[in-house]
Structure 1
Amino acid sequence: MQELLNKVIKDPIHGFIDFNGARENDLKDLLSDPFFQRLRRVKQLGFSDYVFPSAAHSRFAHSLGVFKIAKRMLTIIEPEGSRGHWSPKAEACLAAALLHDVGHGMFSHAFEKAMEFFLARNRLDEAKRESLEEAVDHEKVTQKIIVDSTIGKALINFGGTEFPAMVRDIIKKADKNCIYTSVVSSQLDADRLDYAKRDAYFAGVSSGGIDLDWLLRNLKVGENGDARFLYLDSKAYISLEQFTVTLFQLYPTIYLHKKTRGLEFMFALLLSRVFELIAAGDVSATGLSDTHPFVRFFRDPGNLDQARLLDDTLFWGALHQFREASDTSVSDMATRISDRRILPMIDIWKVADEVLALSPNIVEFTAKARVEQIEAICKAVAEKLPKETSIWSDGCYYDTYNRPIYKPMSVVGGDPQQINVSVGGQILDIASISPLVASAASFNIHRIYYDDRKVRNADELKKFIRDAVETEMACV
């Protein structure tokens, strides 16, 4: 009878995703819910397959991977769990691992950017603005789905009336001192441990690698005051460094790739214009029908049944309709996306890097000082650009992002939200013992994407940027 309660799903990263015993298989039933099934149609990496053709894996698969790793981490906290005897808190943690991404919109953060563009350019009453902002905030949507949908009802049936709130609070990090929260959301959590391996694998890139089995085998539970946390002995310290470096390197390699970011910008431009036309009552100009899910979502953003329809396939299915739109902004951008004609870009960081390399004082700069100098120059140039109305227009977009290798907390004795390492009987933040992590390395982008239909003097834009960089450099 017990064998009937052990079910597995094959996975290229973890081999098998196991659901053991009656309780875990009750959690597995969440996979059949329409809100969770929707994640099959939301790609983990959005437009990245336009750059890395095989990077087309789904948030559905990633969520299963997070469940797998979370369960392995939980067996360290509750050894009896391996025999199916989980505490209610552990069961809430397993449910949170499965459901942590259930509210992600199409193309994830690009969908949020599209709404940001729309709201920045259009005046709406406060209630409408707030409802639209909340409807694209994946964290708020996730929490709403967990407590106010068919998933919420299933969670009540599983663990009682308070159980959905337990799951929600783990995901929203209501208690950052909670060890169960750290399993799902911390700087060494099941989410990061899965996507650091999964995204690199499907993109076909190698960035140092993660010795996942070794890390999980060496996890232990510690206490510091009221906080319980997971930590590793110093013998697994190198594997922790590999993890932080691998995760860090995925940003310049995959997540912040210039082509991917360009496509996200184009998608945001297109969808924000579609929202503008819907708001103006001119749906026909978008190429969509009045009953299309995009239209229904915009008119009733707080309705979860409308949000459930918003996945990547909805956009791709509507792309040919957008291409036929009477509004030229919609049709032109849709055509460019479908033909992969990505908007041109000027990399301010690259220009500054090249100019600094020609400086006779370059040898006097340490690597850290050099990066800090380029960062300051890029910010100064970016501040000047919008003031130059002869070259800057609404067809220009400044894209910036900063991703540090690690966010040190430096809590002696251990903390659930930091990466803890035991050294000489003392538990420390990894940033306190690793010169590599303590280097405070960061990856920064400062890029200008521009619509070549609107920006006629691109050469002048490029010249201004280079001249501004050289001017700032002369002040160093």
Structure 2
Amino acid sequence: MKQPQLLDEEKVFKDPVHSYVHVRDKLIWDLINSAEFQRLRRIRQLGTSFFTFHGGEHSRFNHSLGVYEIMRRILETFEGRIHLSYEEKLLCLCAALLHDVGHGPFSHSFEKVFRYHHEDWTRAILQGDTQINRILKRMGEDFPKRVAEVIAKTYDNKLIVSLISSQIDADRMDYLLRDAYYTGVNYGNFEIERILRVMRPGEDGIVFKYSGMHAVEDYIMSRYQMYWQVYFHPVTRSAEVVLRKIFQRAKELFLQGFPFRQEPTLLLPFLNEQVELADYLSLDESVILFYMQLWRNENDAVLKDLCARFLDRNLFKYVEYNPRDFRLLADLKELFQSADIDPAYYLEVDTTSDLPYDFYRAGEDEERIPIMLVMPSGELTELSEKSEIVQAISGKRRFDYKLYFPMDKVMALPEELSGKIRDRLGVMEDA
């Protein structure tokens, strides 16, 4: 069995959410100081939410340290209740620390256009030619693979997987508290101390004492509110739409052989769709913002306009959209084209949806691990069977559709055409 390799003295990070993040293991300290993990300082946790909540500038580095700290505290509460070897504990801590290491700049917007998933890059960073891989291999040649399996939810120990990926886990608990703190809202706050006190190791995952059910309810409702009030805020979504259109336009121009004033060297592998790990790791949000500053002076009017909109926060306006109104989008596309406004870049339906809580139903595509309560008798009961609050929202997916467009361009059109578009959109002149 591997022996603990501890630092000479404990290292601490002052943290606004958890007060302190404590590090005793040399392996964890070295992972934090790796180039790949330090890159997360240059990737925002909340993407474009800083346009809506000006305090939301925190990074995935902040969040990853927070998830690690919650995992460390969970493992402390499990002492005496279950035996985990030092290697298994370190496996949990490494998975918590590294779960987001594969995120790219403006994460999901970038992913959609260039067709990759950050989890694939997380796996590549853990198992490829990286500092992180070499550090992890100190615990054994297969240790990087095991960490990757925990993050990918394919590891054979379901308890360990549930600590980092379930409906109430270290990752979710940190991002709700942290995002609420930095955005200045109260929605994401819940009693984490109580949650940790009533959490127990189960055979197939974490479970919770029945006496702590109301703290779990509070957590679920906090998550629900954060998604609809913060993560899906329409201004944030507008910024994401503009950002996607920038990437889309840059890619289209590149494929057409457009002569950029300065070749976007660091983006060429993505535009060519031939991305190596080193290419991916060279990219962060400062790189993207640099190219936007260049592109706002390009000869292409669309790319120039979109970049200026993003940098200056001149975002698209929106109206509620009914997907059953089959003619609306077609009519608007025709009107936009007649106004010489390219609908491919200036008219976008954006859809969001969330399922606050659900449990596994046989025959369904996606299994959702239920939250189980330990009753005083020792029997396990699924949460919604005892909670009327959770029962009311269980399995109910909420959808929201919005149509985004540049109001300033519409208002600049001749009155007759502008009026037709505004009438079809259902917006007035001062919208």
Shift of 1:309: 1.8
Are the equivalent residues in 2 in contact too, given 1:10–1:17 (CA < 8 A)? yes
Q: TM-score, normalised by structure 1?
A: 0.78
Are the equivalent residues in 2 in contact too, given 1:78–1:86 (CA < 8 A)? no
The CA distance in 2 between the partners of 1:399 and 1:201, in whole Å, is 27
Equivalent residue for 2:320?
347
Residue 210 of structure 1: SS of its match in structure 2? coil
Structure 1's unaligned 5+ residue stretches are 116-132, 349-377, 468-476
- CA offsets 1:380-406 (integer angstroms, 9 cap, x no match): 12x443443534742311111111221
Shift of 1:423: 2.9
Paired residue type of 1:430: L
Are the equivalent residues in 2 in contact too, given 1:178–1:416 (CA < 8 A)? no
Residue 324 of structure 2: SS of its match in structure 1? helix
Q: Does 1:438 align with 2:381?
A: no
Q: TM-score, normalised by structure 2?
A: 0.86
Equivalent residue for 1:170?
150
The CA distance in 1 between the partners of 2:250 and 2:290, in whole Å, is 15
Pick closer, same or farther for the CA change 1:293–1:283 going to 2, 3 Å: farther
Q: Does 1:15 align with 2:16?
A: no
Are the equivalent residues in 1 in contact too, given 2:347–2:403 (CA < 8 A)? yes
- CA offsets 1:159-187 (integer angstroms, 9 cap, x no match): 11110110000111114761101111111
The counterpart of 1:398, out of the listed 349, 355, 360, is: 349
Equivalent residue for 1:32?
33
Runs of 4+ in 1 over 6 A off after TM superposition: none
How do residues 21-420 of structure 1 correspond to structure 2 at under 5 angstroms? Answer: 24-79=25-80, 86-115=85-114, 133=115, 136-175=116-155, 178-207=158-187, 209-223=189-203, 227=204, 229-284=205-260, 287-289=261-263, 292-299=265-272, 301-348=274-321, 378-381=322-325, 383-388=326-331, 389-391=333-335, 393-394=343-344, 395-409=346-360, 417-420=369-372
- Higher fraction of helix: 1
The CA distance in 1 between the partners of 2:193 and 2:289, in whole Å, is 38
The CA RMSD over aligned residues, in Å, is: 2.7
Shift of 1:295: 2.2
Residue 370 of structure 2: SS of its match in structure 1? coil
Shift of 1:146: 0.8
Are the equivalent residues in 2 in contact too, given 1:421–1:429 (CA < 8 A)? yes
Equivalent residue for 2:340?
none
The CA distance in 2 between the partners of 1:217 and 1:316, in whole Å, is 44
Equivalent residue for 2:339?
none
- CA offsets 1:16-56 (integer angstroms, 9 cap, x no match): 11112xxx222221112211111000010111111111110
Paired residue type of 2:86: S
The CA distance in 1 between the partners of 2:87 and 2:237, in whole Å, is 41
The CA distance in 1 between the partners of 2:380 and 2:141, in whole Å, is 38
Paired residue type of 2:185: V
The CA distance in 1 between the partners of 2:318 and 2:273, in whole Å, is 36
